[in-house]
Structure 1
Amino acid sequence: MRRPGGIESLAELESDRAQRRGKVLRRLVGELRPHGRLMGVALVFILVGALCQAAGPYLVSQAIDHDIGSGDGRGLLQTLSMLFVVYAVGALAQRAQTWRVGHTGQKVLAELRRRLFERLQQLPLAWFDRRPLGDLMSRLLSDVDTLNQLFAQGLTQLLGSVLGLVGVLIAMLALNVRLALACFSLIPVIVLTTWFFASRARSAYRKTRQTVGDVTANLQEEIGGVRQAQAFNRTEKNIERFRDRNAANRDANVAAVGITSAFSPAIDLLSTLSTALVIGYGGVLVLDGRLTVGGVAAFLIYVQQFFRPVQLAASVATLMQSALAGAERIFGILDETPEPPDAPTAVALGSLKGQVVFDRVSFGYDPERPVLRDVSFHLEPGQTLALVGRTGAGKTTVASLVPRFYDVTAGSVRIDGEDVRQVTRSSLRQRMAMVLQEPFLFSGKVADNIAYGKPGATREDVEAAAKAVHAHDFITRLPQGYDSVIGEGGATLSQGQRQLLAFARAVIADPRVLILDEATANIDTRTEALIQLALGRLLADRTSIVIAHRLNTIRNADLILVMDQGAVVERGTHDELLAKGGLYADLYHQQFRDTPGKTQALG
């Protein structure tokens, strides 16, 4: 029986990691295949650069042995001219290969970003419920940036180093086999040294990618909640928590840098040993007449050229470890299962009347933990349904199933007699609008935020929608009116003003089914009075589902469902439910109890 954590299990774990790294690397290389022609041209330039690199020291040996040794000044000038041409061509080839590979890399990165954004748009909401926004931003920005460094710098250096190294090895063998083999005796030591540092750098850089994701996620959360932190006197605690995560990221990067910084001196030591070997053994061969002085000089240059690609390849290998860790996280998003596509037999909804039916619906975000249990109701076109209950009763979940943000676990949701799973999502959501308790506004103009509900809306449409919800007056008082730019999330506006803009966005969409999720919960009494006037027009002839925070706003609802722990425990009109004296009546009396400070918010 194998013990957990034993040598065998550790070996298997390392084997799994190696297989995963190999898979990620192959997949990353596969991203270059559509650009094979550009990479082929770049490879030609890299090959030219490698040949020029190998030819240079040979010309130096010729100049020393034949031109200087024989006193041939004209021949020396010709050799130097050839050397200048070789190095000039090599420099031009290097510039061309860098531009080609960099250009190709940027095209690959742009395509990756596009696919990442598209996949994020296609993922189900349940996927986002389980992941912090900051970590996603880290994957889109920081992890993609590591690939940018690899494609912009590392890939060119790696390809050039490999081909250059091959050219140097061939040139050394052609110049003198014995001295070349003596130098090659250090290759096993170089390989072992490189493997030793690379294996440790790999795990170190994977940790840096994880810790930077934690830091970004923490920043996103804490900056977004800075008001709450100050209100609850949590700033010191938040600073301490960020300090810990930042320190973990610092330690991970210091460890990674420590590993990579130790590699360069190790290679320099081996380079010095190789130089000493060339001078010592090369000198013996010169004394024996088996090698010329120019040959020794050429070998000294070749040794430097031999170790330069090794150092470059090692630095690129370090960069590649970071890039592979980032690529693994990026591919993790691309491999996520998108929102299930529309059924092959799905039809597009035509003109929607607005009948909504829940038929024994059960649902759970986690199949093992149901949130809704056997919920049923029937709404005719134009009717208003109010959902009431304490926090966590399942009200928002009911509303989220109508536009099919989630699919039911059991039962069915039908719109105009059609199961929502048998109609296309776009046609379903096109005829619906939703106003949330915390409306999201985009950074941009006020007019653009209202027109978001109706692409192509005219300024007249925008102003008419704003007037319908009594937002026109406060908008015109802004510095640039409808062209005023609001910050991300509408931070420059009050909560009530943001809510009014959300209502205007819903009005301009002209939906057949309207969902209000505690949409008036954070509005002051005066603004609520204006909203109630607007709601009379907004709800007219529309099927509406209202999640109620203030029970006095749902007196005229056609049907009120009282929910508790995911089940409907009472149903009826306002007067009927009050007469029953059950949970609704209890909640209602609690909310409007005369004793100050005893009002209970229904969320």
Structure 2
Amino acid sequence: MSESKPRPTVGLRSLLPYLRAYRGTLAVVAVLSLVAAAGTLVQPLVTRELLNAIGARESFGRFVLILVGLLIGASVVDSVREYLLQRTAEGIVLSSRRRLTGHLLRLPIVEYDRRRVGDLLSRVGADTTLLRAVVTSGLFEIVSGAVMVLGSATAMIVLDPLLFAVTLVGLAAGLAAGIGFAGKVRKASLEAQTRVGEMTSAVERAISAARTIRASRAEARETEVVSASARDAYDAGLRIARLQAFIRPTVVTAIQGSFLLVLGVGGARVASGHITVGDLVAFILFLFFLVMPLGGALQAYTQLQAGLGALERIEEILTLPAETDHDTGAAGVPVGGPAVEFDQVGFSYENGDPVLRDVSFTVPYGTRTALVGPSGAGKSTLLSLVERFYELESGQLRVAGRDVRDQPRDELRSHLGYVEQEAPVLAGTLRDNLLLASPSATDAQMADVLAAVNLTDLIDRTPLGLDAQVGEGGVLLSGGERQRLAIARTLLSAPPILLLDEPTSNLDARNEAALRQAISAVAENRTLIVVAHRLSTVVDSDQIVVLEHGKVVAVGRHAELLESSPLYRELAAHQFLVAADS
């Protein structure tokens, strides 16, 4: 098995693709942040002039009006800025979810074999949500806080350099400790998000198998499995909580100590006549405007680290290569050769054990070919290779005379209809399921194809007709109905080549006969490749390919194989299609 790729290293630069589409709005936010900061920094100076005017018994009404105007203006600017920032953050979450979902749906099938669905769901849900905090409370809080800190520090130095030095002594130790703790949050957040993904996987596993779990009386055991995952997520969350618990008190203590120092030293400076009361009040206000953004920026830095941890998990998926088509420059071969041709095909899954060994056989146009053999012989794998869900390791696989590796996947799959063994049904309505591969089909066409697979009663049993709900995973349908609905969905697209993997596995004798008739009807002028364990469904095939241990051991018609293939004769005997001693 190939080793998984290490997670990509992400930093602030990694956020740029997410912010680029909103650079105009973010520029407006930046300007508004500067305006709000400037208006806020003017307030202590106006307050100083107000107090000095009051002390000198001069007119101070204009200073009151200016302060009121500054407060109202700052409130309006901050409201607009905050709305734009929140709207941008929601837009980034939306675009990241779209981008991540689009990429997930285009990953090679092998990636789904490696990963758990719940963890992928967690990345789309929980991890993308953390990007909101990066924008609203992280990145711009740090930027706007830096403007406030720089402006306040400059004003404080102008007012009283000695008092500013005293302030730095009080703040330095506390902030240094706070930054040290905040730097550890990213690793802890990454672990916490990973644990949440594992918990989501455990919950998804339990819910998807709820009936099996209930029937097996395994509720308590499965609850314990989920609880253990939840406990791991809880422990990881506690590690973040412990770090944040140190950060806030440390910052608060530094702020309180700074205020006490400034009051003590500043009071002495006023008493000695070095500064006025107005200067001290202005200095304290500037100190407030300095320490509050510092505390906010430190908290924002913590959130930024958590967001970057989530971004690392998102980028891990986005950096996985999607399905791609490698243009070899091979020209398209006109239809005229075999519909499908396997030529010395070999294939192994990631565990390295060969699944197919030198498989060779030809499927002519307009014929029906059945693939039979014991479980694990490689029958379903052959269909997956035709669909290019996996890439063959050796040999050639040609569809319409062209190597599948020389054909764009969309073009290749547009000529193929594929019904999986498990016959998945999507949550939604009958219409939603039928239109999946044929979005322009009419109601009449959908009704016809449902009739072809003996499912007319589905649209007759409720006034909703085609808009009747099928439930999560088709739970409101029987197993046979789900199988036939999946087949109807494929038949509706009317592809020239149909790939059917155990199409009758969940059908009773009556519906099996009806489906055989439907397949026979649509098989005219089309090519069928059918995987079957139930030989009664394929005895009239034009050719039957018998596989064992990944190899083709016999090819022929039913009567021929009964004479020439011991394995086929054994399979037929087990299904009472021939006497065991014949």
The normalised TM-score by structure 1 is 0.90
Report the counterpart of residue 68 of structure 1 in structure 2. Answer: 54
Deviations along 1:92-140, whole A, 9 cap, x unmatched? Answer: 2222222233333333333322222221232211111111111111111
- SS of 1:492's partner is coil
Tell me which residue corresponds to 1:550. 534
The one of 445, 453, 461 aligned to 1:477: 461
**Which residue does 2:366 correspond to in 1?**
382
Please list the CA deviations of residues 253-301 of structure 1 after superposition, one character each: whole Å capped at 9, or x if unmatched. 1221222123212111111111111011112211221111122222222
Deviation at 1:528, TM superposition (A): 1.3
CA distance, structure 2, for counterparts of residue 346 and residue 227 of structure 1: 51
Task: Tell me the CA shift for residue 342 of structure 1.
Answer: 4.2
Which blocks of at least 5 consecutive residues in structure 2 are unaligned? 1-5
8 Å CA contact 1:560, 1:571 repeated in 2: yes
**Equivalent of 1:333, from 317, 321, 332?**
317
* Counterpart pick for 1:129 among 87, 90, 113: 113
The offset of 1:309, in angstroms, is: 1.1
| Aligned length in residues | 574
Give the corresponding residue for 2:236: 252
Out of 214-223 and 53-62, give the one that drifted further: 53-62
1:44 to 31, 42, 45: 31
1:394 aligns with 2:378: yes
Displacement of 1:478 in angstroms is 3.2
The equivalences for 1:517-528 within 5 A come to 517-528=501-512
Question: Which residue does 2:135 correspond to in 1?
Answer: 151
How many Å apart are 1:367 and its aligned residue?
A: 8.1
Which moves more between the two structures, 205-214 or 539-548? 539-548
SS of the residue corresponding to residue 387 of structure 1 reads strand
Decide which of 81, 88, 95 is 1:104's aligned counterpart. 88
Q: 5 Å matches for 1:482-561? A: 482-561=466-545
1:336 shift after superposition: 0.8
Equivalent residue number for residue 406 of structure 1: 390
Give the deviation of 1:150 after TM superposition: 2.5
* Cα distance in structure 2, aligned partners of 1:36 and 1:494: 52
Secondary structure of the residue that 2:537 maps to in structure 1? helix
2:41 to 33, 54, 76: 54
Partners of 2:232 and 2:549 lie apart in 1 by 41
Q: Percent identity?
A: 32
Partner of 2:255: 271
* Preserved contact between residue 206 and residue 321 of structure 1 (Cα < 8 Å): no
Q: Choose 372-381 or 201-210, whichever is displaced more.
A: 201-210
Amino acid at match of 1:223: I
SS class of match (1:185): helix
SS at match of 1:585: helix
Q: Residue 137 of structure 2 contacts residue 303 of structure 2 at CA under 8 Å; is this kept in 1?
A: no
What aligned pairs does 1:234-253 form with structure 2 within 5 A after superposition? 234-253=218-237
1:354 and 1:543 in contact (8 A); partners too: no
Partner of 1:412, secondary structure, is strand
Could you report, residue by residue, the CA deviation over 1:481-514 in whole angstroms, capped at 9, with x for unpaired residues?
2221222321111111111211211221112111
Partner of 1:26: 13
Alpha-carbon shift at residue 144 of structure 1 (Å): 0.5
Q: Which amino acid in structure 2 is aligned with residue 330 of structure 1?
A: I
**CA distance in structure 2 between the aligned counterparts of 1:584 and 1:594, rounded to whole angstroms:** 10
Match of 1:565 among 549, 553, 567: 549
Aligned counterparts of 1:353 and 1:504: Cα–Cα separation in 2: 28
Deviation of 1:323 after TM superposition, in Å, equals 0.8
Contact residue 29 and residue 84 of structure 2 kept, 8 A: yes
Give the one of 453, 470, 481 matched to 2:437: 453
- 8 Å CA contact 2:569–2:578 kept in 1: the answer is no
CA distance in 2, matches of 1:185, 1:352: 86
Distance 1:503 1:454, change over 3 A: same
| Structure 1 position 569, deviation (Å) | 2.4
Query: The residue matched to 1:54 in structure 2 has which SS?
Result: helix
Structure-2 residue corresponding to 1:468: 452
Q: In structure 2, do the counterparts of structure 1 residues 244 and 521 end up closer, same or farther at CA, with 3 Å as the change threshold?
A: same
Matched, 1:172 2:160: no
Correspondence for 1:9: none
CA contact (8 A) 1:347 1:424 kept: no
1:45 is aligned with what amino acid?
L
Q: Distance in 2 between matches of 1:196 and 1:542?
A: 69
Asked if structure 2 preserves the Cα contact closer than 8 Å seen for 1:183 and 1:278, the reply is: yes
- Structure 1 CA distance for aligned equivalents of residues 270 and 346 of structure 2: 90
Equivalent pair of 1:49/1:160 in contact (CA under 8 Å): no
Residue 553 and residue 402 in structure 1: after superposition, are their counterparts in 2 closer, same or farther (change >3 A)? same
The 8 Å contact of residues 189 and 310 in structure 2, kept in 1 or not, is answered as no
Contact 1:349–1:424 under 8 Å retained in 2: no
Q: CA–CA distance in 1 between the matches of 2:414 and 2:323?
A: 17
For 1:232 and 1:565, how far apart are their aligned partners in 2?
33
Q: Which amino acid aligns with 2:165?
A: L
C-alpha distance 487-24 of structure 1, shift in aligned 2 (>3 A):
farther
Residue 137 and residue 556 in structure 1: after superposition, are their counterparts in 2 closer, same or farther (change >3 A)? Answer: same
Is 1:106–1:152's contact at 8 Å kept on the other side of the alignment? no
Question: 1:307 corresponds to which letter in structure 2?
Answer: V
Q: 1:47 to 1:349 in 2, by over 3 A?
A: farther
Q: Is the 8 A contact 1:346 1:424 kept in 2?
A: no
Asked whether the equivalents of residues 388 and 395 of structure 1 are also in contact (C-alpha less than 8 Å), the reply is yes
Aligned-residue offset at 1:462: 0.9
Retained in 2: the 8 A contact 1:442–1:489? yes
CA contact (8 A) 2:338 2:364 kept: yes
Aligned in 2, Cα 1:478/1:390: closer, same or farther, shift over 3 Å?
farther
Q: Is the 8 A contact 1:354 1:416 kept in 2?
A: yes
The 2-side partners of 1:95 and 1:515 are apart by 59
2: distance between equivalents of 1:390 and 1:250?
46
Residue from 177, 180, 183 that aligns with 1:193: 177
- Relative to 1, partners in 2 of residues 1:461 and 1:207: Cα closer, same or farther, differing over 3 Å? same
Secondary structure of 2:263's partner?
helix
Q: Tell me the distance in 2 between the aligned counterparts of 1:531 and 1:577.
A: 25
Deviation at 1:24, TM superposition (A): 3.0
Offset of residue 369 of structure 1: 3.2
- Does the 8 A contact of 1:352 with 1:512 survive in 2? no
1:6 maps to which residue? none
Aligned pair partner of 2:290 in 306, 312, 318 = 306
Residue 425 of structure 1 and its aligned partner are, at CA, apart by: 1.9
Aligned to 2:3: none
Instruction: Specify the SS of the correspondent of 1:122.
Output: coil
Q: 1:353 to 1:486 in 2, by over 3 A?
A: farther
Residue 302 of structure 1: how far off its partner (Å): 2.3
Q: Deviations over 1:204-236 (max 9, x none)?
A: 211111111011111111111112212333222
